[in-house]
């Protein structure tokens, strides 16, 4: 299957390298999306990034669209604009922003950019599995996000996005926590999703760095489930292999989808 991989805030497309390699080995056709404003250093807008993602979809054969963290919103915007042209959406460590809210206005903007804030905001479950080398690697590739992306207003246009199958991969939070947030009204964009599943991965916020093989295999498993449509599950961990234990995650993030 064609699989479009969209990195979250600050991270270039190269962050998917190990995941993409494993997906290729498993017989898929991964595309690590080069985002304007990140991979090219331009002063891009959210619309520019959405256009790049849509162009990748239009060149693919009913792809699976994968967004990490803040880019879960970008992946969901793709579902909104191309609801009949994609196999489904996978959201890793985040949820889509609500309509008419800011895309990712999480940290101060200085000179038109939102720079990587360092590790203090991510101390705890987000970053506990990152060793010094992994932290240095993320720091070395991190690119400031243009404010024209981070502060842009999210606009959805097509209610048919609710029929697109969605899987939320839960790294620093558990499927049970995600279900609770959904029930409490904290994830309004997924409240009407017709096909929604939560799957656990025992990692921090950046599993493409710390657990790339496992993440690739989760994506591989769900490509098969999504061909007809992912079943809607609202009862906890829905990992097809049931390898992980929800009890491994005792604390959710302060703000899922930051990063």
- Residue 8's pLDDT is 98
Alpha-helical regions (H) of the chain: 17-25, 46-58, 71-81, 132-141, 147-150, 175-183, 207-210, 212-226
- pLDDT digit string, tens, across residues 27-83: 999 999 999 999 998 889 999 999 999 999 999 999 999 999 999 999 999 999 999
Q: How far apart are CA 202 and CA 222, in angstroms?
A: 17
Which helix (H) or strand (E) segment holds residue 33: the answer is: none
CATH code for the part of the protein at 2-248? 3.40.50.1820
Instruction: Write the pLDDT tens digit of every residue in 107-118.
Output: 999 999 999 999
Q: Let me know: does 147 contact 98? Beta carbons within 8 Å.
A: no
User: 254 pLDDT band (50/70/90 cuts)?
Assistant: very low
């Amino acid at each position: 299957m064609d699989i479009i991989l969209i990195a979250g805030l600050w991270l270039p497309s190269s962050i998917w390298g190990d995941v993409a390699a494993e997906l290729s080995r498993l017989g898929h056709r991964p595309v690590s999306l080069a985002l304007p404003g990140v991979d090219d250093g331009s002063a891009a807008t959210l619309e520019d990034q959405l256009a790049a993602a849509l162009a990748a979809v239009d060149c693919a054969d009913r792809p699976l669209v994968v967004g990490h963290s803040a880019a879960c919103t970008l992946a969901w915007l793709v579902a909104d604009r191309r609801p009949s042209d994609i196999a489904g959406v996978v959201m890793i460590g985040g949820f889509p922003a609500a309509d008419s809210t800011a895309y990712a206005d999480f940290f101060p903007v200085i000179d038109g950019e939102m720079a990587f804030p360092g590790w203090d905001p991510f101390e705890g479950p987000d970053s506990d599995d990152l060793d010094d080398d992994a932290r240095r690697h993320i720091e070395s590739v991190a690119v400031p996000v243009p404010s024209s992306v981070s502060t842009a207003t999210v606009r959805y246009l097509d209610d048919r996005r609710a029929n697109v199958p969605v899987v939320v991969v839960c790294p620093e939070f558990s499927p049970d926590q995600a279900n609770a947030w959904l029930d409490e009204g904290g994830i309004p964009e997924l409240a009407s999703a017709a096909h929604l599943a939560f799957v656990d991965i025992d990692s921090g916020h950046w599993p493409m760095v710390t657990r790339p093989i496992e993440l690739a295999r989760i994506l591989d498993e769900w490509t098969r489930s999504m061909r007809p449509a992912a079943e809607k599950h609202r009862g906890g961990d829905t990992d097809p292999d049931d390898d992980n234990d929800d009890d491994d995650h005792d604390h959710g993030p302060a703000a899922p989808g930051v990063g």
